[in-house]
Amino acid sequence: MIMIEKFSNVNEIEKRTFYYLCGFSLFLPISKAIGNIFFALSILGMIHRLYRKNDDVKIIFSEYKKIFVSIAALFAAVIISALSSSDFLFGLKSFLDKYIGHFAVIFPAMFICLDKNKILYLLKLLFAGVFISNAAVIVQGFLNFDGIWRFGGFLTAMAQGSLIGIFLPLYAVLVLHVKNKALRIYFIIAAVVAVVALLFNGTRGVYLSSAILIPAMILIYSRKNLKAFAIVIAILLAVGGMFAVALNSAATSTMVSGMRAQSNNERMLVWTSAFNMFKDNPIFGIGYGQYKTAYQTKYISPDAKETYLEHAHSNIFQMLAECGIIGAATFLSMWGYLTYFSLRRWFKDKNFEWLLFFCVLWGFMLHGLTEFNFETSVPSKVLWYSLGLCIAYSRLNSAQKI
């Protein structure tokens, strides 16, 4: 009886769930299978905790109501699109997997009453997992290099590229923000590892997104610190020079002149096909989950060489094609509101956690302009998990100010 009471004690439930979240944080960028095990355990722990204590649920949803409304509007648009399609059961199944399954990572961190140190510990484990994942790309690249740089380590090349696009700008801001010298050195090393991993990963969209976002983040963080901005620009120019040398080397000349030109051309073709789907079905799109079938059977360009493509290589074009103007509008509205909310919290209250979330959001979304990463498991879960941790940390900040 005593053991049962201890097992059902709220503090014990939260302690167990924290350990599950530790495993999830570390393995999310390394192993989808192991990460999902810890995620499932954390969901069960959260449900048990909410059964025993749920008085804060209404408060959290009320405080962040507009965030959840913007996300719910997108989800509703996707469901409507799925129901309007010829195979609505497949669409609903895909929605549960790609939307609810990924988004659900927000809840354990948000509803488990963690102190700041524990939230920071979860972040440290997540950063450690990303560091290991980037290191794996480098090792894979050196062991298998054949002149084509497309390595993903534990993930697919695009998923790993999206992960680098999220964390590389984070490192730049954290190097400026942290006061601890050892921690600053760690983030510098992590940034160097991420740059080398990106070189082996070869995701061009992340080259572009990082070149845009890193200077932007430095300007946002230290608007009056021109020295810091100048240092970052100098580093970027040095890194850019390294890329230029690498991309003009004999080892990669085939990739630059051949594969990349083909890849660029293929994206233009697939975006045109996606826009044609939208023009034919402007309101609800062709139906959520129907892109692959529609593309391969009706809308594929006669010039296309990659006939196996299953998505539009862009979050926005994918939304336009599958969910029409309603899906695209709610997607952009959600993006816009999350941007506004996070920047307002930073400029108004100097809440650093929301500046970090802004960085995660834009690192994810900028890559999503040239790659469909919104339904990719690891980057998508990193996005929603980061939002959950920010909400948890921000609530603790607010409680301390009262």
Query: What is the per-residue pLDDT across 305-338, written as a single tens digit (0 to 9) for each?
Result: 777 778 889 999 999 999 999 999 999 999 999 9
Name the band, by pLDDT with cuts 50, 70 and 90, for residue 141.
Answer: confident
Greater pLDDT, 222 or 21:
21
- What pLDDT score was predicted for residue 250? 39
When pLDDT is cut at 50, 70 and 90, the band that residue 256 belongs to is very low
Percent of the chain exceeding pLDDT 70 equals 85
Copy the structure tokens of residue 167: 């964390």
Phi-psi region of 222 (alpha: psi -120 to 50; beta: other; left: phi over 0): beta
Residue 147 pLDDT > 70 = no
In this prediction, residue 341 carries a pLDDT of 96
How far is CA 127 from each of CA 30, 120, 135, 173, rounded to the nearest angstrom? 11, 10, 12, 14
Question: Based on the number of CB atoms within 10 Å of its own CB, is 224 exposed (0-12), middle (13-18) or buried (19 or more)?
Answer: exposed
Residue 142 has pLDDT above 90, yes or no: no
Number of domains in the chain: 1
Checking if the pLDDT of 252 tops 60, the result is: no
Q: Which of the pair, 223 or 188, is modelled with greater confidence?
A: 188
- Candidates 167, 138, 168; CA nearest to 153 is 138
Nearest to 135 by CA among 167, 182, 183, 177: 167
* 237 or 19, greater pLDDT: 19
Region 204-208: what's the mean pLDDT? 88
**Band of residue 385 on the pLDDT scale cut at 50, 70, 90:** very high
The pLDDT of 362-389, averaged and rounded, is 95
Distance CA 245, CA 243 (A): 5
pLDDT digits (tens, 9 = 90+) for 223-240: 756 666 666 666 666 655
Higher pLDDT, 112 or 106: 106
Please report, for residues 50, 51, 60, 61, 69, the alpha-carbon distance to residue 55 in angstroms, rounded to integers and kept in the order given.
8, 10, 10, 11, 21
Range of the domain at 229: 2-401
Stated pTM of the model: 0.90
pLDDT of residue 11: 86
C-alpha to C-alpha distance for 286 and 318, rounded to whole angstroms: 10
The shares of helix, strand and coil residues in the chain, as percent rounded to the nearest 5, are 80, 0, 20
Chain position carrying tokens 């890193």: 214
> At 8, is the pLDDT very low, low, confident or very high (cuts 50, 70, 90)?
confident
pLDDT of residue 237: 65
What is the pLDDT at residue 112? 84
Residue 257 pLDDT greater than 50, yes or no: no
Looking at every residue in the chain, the average pLDDT score rounds to 87
Write out the DSSP string of 169-193.
Answer: HHHHHHHHH---HHHHHHHHHHHHH
**pLDDT attached to residue 58:** 87
Distances (CA, A) of 238 to 141, 230, 244: 22, 12, 10
d(CA 198, CA 373): 17
Provide the pLDDT for residue 251. Answer: 39
